Amino acid sequence: MSFTTRILKVDPTSIKFVNGTPEISDKETLTNLQTAAHELTTTHNAIGFPTETVYGLAGSALSDESVKSIYKAKNRPADNPLITHISSIDQLKRKLINYEIPEVYRNLINHFWPGPLTILLPITEDCPISSLVTANQDTFAVRMPSHPVARALIAISDTPIAAPSANASTRPSPTLAEHVYNDLKGKIPIILDGGSCEVGVESTVVDGLVDPPMLLRPGGVSLEEIKQVGGGKWQNIVIAKKTAGKLEPVKTPGMKYRHYSPTAKVVLFIDCGDGQEEIGNYIKKHNIDIDATKIALLQSKSFKSNPKFINKELGVTGNEISHNLFKYLREVDEEDKVDLIFVEGVDETNEGLAIMNRLSKAAMEVVHGK
Ligand code: TXA
Ligand code: MG
């Protein structure tokens, strides 16, 4: 099906939650949220919406047809399960589970919900979630987003929402409504435009149902924070293997696919000081004519700018770099239309783990310094 994609403006600052219920002071925001909720509850079409991590592509988690629309619009392989989003613990219990949330998650939920943490919960026989959301696993992934627009949309439609990032499969995740438009125009009827996503990388996915618990995807909540506040078992949390080998069972199926890739070739430089020497060597080794090649340089702490390149500062802190990462990858790719993107790697501590996870998947080549 082909759509005329409408971008509907919403103002996150006009939404307040009182006892878990959204109160919306701006009229346009209210109308547009109602339009989006109506689309979700009366059709099977997927729609774009902002979360605090990245823009998501929403459909009812309870409907096979809605979930099919998500996979179709993104062109995503159907064996990669989706995260279900809820607006409150009350909604999670009313709509999805008939058991108490496992004790192991108590501290994490108290600290990080609403927010960028996704947990795995068991699927029971009477669970109404579409098996297309879970890709037939015996668990489902769930989070309560903190973005007021996301939470209000889920509360108003009173529907648990399945939502992957709203990019076309393999592309960098979208952190602005225009990124979603670039990838999915004509494929979805509505994008709610709530401005730029604060966090900039997706949620952290953890599995506390296994012992030791597993970090399935690093993201907006750091491993260090999880160890610090999780208590008990979380001290021993294990990082899932970055790339699942061909013969191993795939715990997070997302790991075996190419991800986050701009059209331009991304080269990631790790431990390369100010970058001068390694970038110079790279250009020589590949016989790159820098007068005829458009090159972007995404720097953080140490790389020096180069007048021949399009230089972008990702920021210095982990929060800044996370916030800018996908935005600048897309900007130099889609607007500047560069041929090559050189990126400065960061330490894999705190926010750095999620940043390097995304960068190593986006990169076609990695250069290690000393
Ligand atoms: O921040 C986010 O999480 C964004 C926004 C839109 O909320 N959503 C997002 O969803 O990134 P998605 O579908 O692109 O990522 C889901 C991740 C994948 O790595 C997937 O393999 C994993 O969660 N996942 C989902 N269900 C799972 C399950 N039952 N077991 C293991 N991994 C699961
Ligand atoms: Mg994604």
**CA 359 vs CA 193, 299, 322, 353: distances in Å:** 26, 13, 11, 10
Using a 6 Å cutoff on CB, does residue 140 contact ligand 1?
A: yes
Q: Ligand 1: which atom is nearest the Cα of residue 201?
A: 1
The 10s digit of each residue's pLDDT in 305-359 is 999 999 999 999 999 999 999 999 999 999 999 999 999 999 999 999 999 999 9
Nearest CA to ligand 1 atom 13: 164
Q: Is 99 annotated in some ligand binding site?
A: no
Q: What are phi and psi of 131, to 5 degrees?
A: -70, -15
Q: Ligand 1: which atom is nearest the Cα of residue 133?
A: 26
Q: What is the rounded average pLDDT of the residues 50-79?
A: 95
Using a 6 Å cutoff on CB, does residue 254 contact ligand 1?
A: yes
Which ligand is located closest to the Cα atom of residue 81?
1
Q: What is the pLDDT of residue 320?
A: 98
% of the chain surpassing 70 pLDDT: 95
Nearest CA to ligand 1 atom 31: 252
Q: Probe ligand 1: pick from 118, 119, 137, max atoms within 8 Å of CB?
A: 118
Contact by Cβ (8 Å): 272, 290: no
Q: Is 35 annotated in some ligand binding site?
A: no
Nearest CA to ligand 1 atom 9: 164
Using a 6 Å cutoff on CB, does residue 146 contact ligand 1?
A: no
Please list, in sequence order, all residues whose beta carbon lies within 8 angstroms of the beta carbon of residue 59, skipping any fewer than 6 positions away: 40, 44, 45, 46, 47, 66, 67, 69, 70, 161, 162, 163
Q: What's the rounded Cα separation, in Å, for the pair 31 and 27?
A: 6
Q: What is the pLDDT of residue 77?
A: 81
Q: What are phi and psi of 245, to 5 degrees?
A: -70, 160
Angle at 130 between CA 126 and CA 135, to 5 degrees: 110
Please list, in sequence order, all residues whose beta carbon lies within 8 angstroms of the beta carbon of residue 23, skipping any fewer than 6 positions away: 15, 16, 17
Using a 6 Å cutoff on CB, does residue 84 contact ligand 1?
A: no
Q: What is the pLDDT of residue 333?
A: 96
Nearest CA to ligand 1 atom 18: 254
Q: Is 53 annotated in some ligand binding site?
A: yes
H/E element holding 319?
helix 318-330
Q: What is the pLDDT of residue 242?
A: 58
The 10s digit of each residue's pLDDT in 1-46 is 799 999 999 999 999 999 889 999 999 999 999 999 999 999 999 9
Peptide bond connecting 212 to the previous residue in cis, omega within 30 degrees of 0:
yes
The 10s digit of each residue's pLDDT in 165-192 is 999 999 999 999 999 999 999 999 999 9
Residue 78: pLDDT band (50, 70, 90) is: confident
Q: Please report the DSSP string for 153-187 in residue order.
A: HHHHHT--EE--BSSPTTSPPPSSHHHHHHHHTTT
Q: Which domains does the chain have, with CATH numbers?
A: 6-239 (3.90.870.10), 265-368 (3.40.50.11030)
pTM for the whole structure:
0.95
Cα 326 vs. chain centroid, distance in angstroms? 10
Q: Is 85 annotated in some ligand binding site?
A: yes
Q: Is 181 annotated in some ligand binding site?
A: no
Please list, in sequence order, all residues whose beta carbon lies within 8 angstroms of the beta carbon of residue 91, skipping any fewer than 6 positions away: 154, 155, 158, 160
Q: Ligand 1: which atom is nearest the Cα of residue 80?
A: 21
Using a 6 Å cutoff on CB, does residue 205 contact ligand 1?
A: yes
Cα 178 vs. chain centroid, distance in angstroms? 16
Cα 87 vs. chain centroid, distance in angstroms? 18
The 10s digit of each residue's pLDDT in 119-152 is 999 999 999 999 999 998 999 999 999 999 999 9
The SS3 assignment for 293 reads coil
Using only the alpha carbons of the chain, give its radius of gyration: 21
**CA 247 vs CA 92, 136, 244, 256, 286: distances in Å:** 36, 20, 8, 12, 34
CA torsion sign, 272 to 276 to 282 to 288?
positive
Residue 79: pLDDT band (50, 70, 90) is: confident
Q: What is the mean pLDDT of the chain?
A: 94
Q: What's the rounded Cα separation, in Å, for the pair 285 and 288?
A: 8
Angle at 76 between CA 226 and CA 240, to 5 degrees: 30
DSSP 100: P
The 10s digit of each residue's pLDDT in 246-290 is 334 444 444 445 688 899 999 999 999 999 999 999 999 999 999
Q: Probe ligand 1: pick from 76, 83, 134, 214, max atoms within 8 Å of CB?
A: 83
Q: Ligand 1: which atom is nearest the Cα of residue 53?
A: 1
Q: What's the rounded Cα separation, in Å, for the pair 117 and 225?
A: 11
Q: Is 317 annotated in some ligand binding site?
A: no
The SS3 assignment for 22 reads strand
